[in-house]
């Protein structure tokens, strides 16, 4: 199965890296590498994540990695990475949801 990153998801991972890099550049890159490793597992196990409670669609799923929610959409021929959001953020109040990305 093909794995695709949306612009918001790429921006999220860059922002996470930049934030952690303020304290430790080495740890920042290792943390991002681990996120990518977790995401790569979706190619073989696309339904390993749980259904996102705030989403109505069953194909909107997420993996929990440390304090982050890695949200993705499963489609017949691809997995679309939607966002990487800190779990403390309340996405229910946002008008534009991470899964509204095309």
Average the pLDDT over 8-25 and give the result: 95
pTM of the model: 0.89
The CA-to-CA distance between both ends of the chain, in Å, stands at 18
Around 73, how many Cα atoms within 13 Å sit in the side-chain half-sphere? Answer: 18
Instruction: Give 102's pLDDT tier (boundaries 50, 70, 90).
Output: low
Can you list the domains of the chain with their CATH numbers? 2-87 (3.30.2310.20)
CA dist., res. 48 & res. 31, Å (int): 21
pLDDT tens-digit series, residues 34-51: 999 999 999 999 999 999
């Amino acid at each position: 199965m093909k794995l695709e990153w949306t612009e918001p998801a790429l921006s999220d991972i860059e922002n996470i890296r930049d934030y952690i890099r303020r304290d430790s550049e080495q740890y920042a890159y290792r943390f991002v590498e681990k996120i990518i490793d977790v995401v790569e597992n979706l190619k073989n196990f696309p339904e390993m994540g749980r259904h996102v409670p705030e989403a109505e669609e069953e194909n909107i799923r997420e993996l929990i990695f440390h304090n982050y929610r890695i949200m993705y959409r499963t489609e017949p021929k691809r997995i679309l990475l939607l966002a990487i959001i800190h779990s403390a953020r309340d996405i229910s109040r946002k008008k534009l949801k991470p899964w509204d990305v095309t």
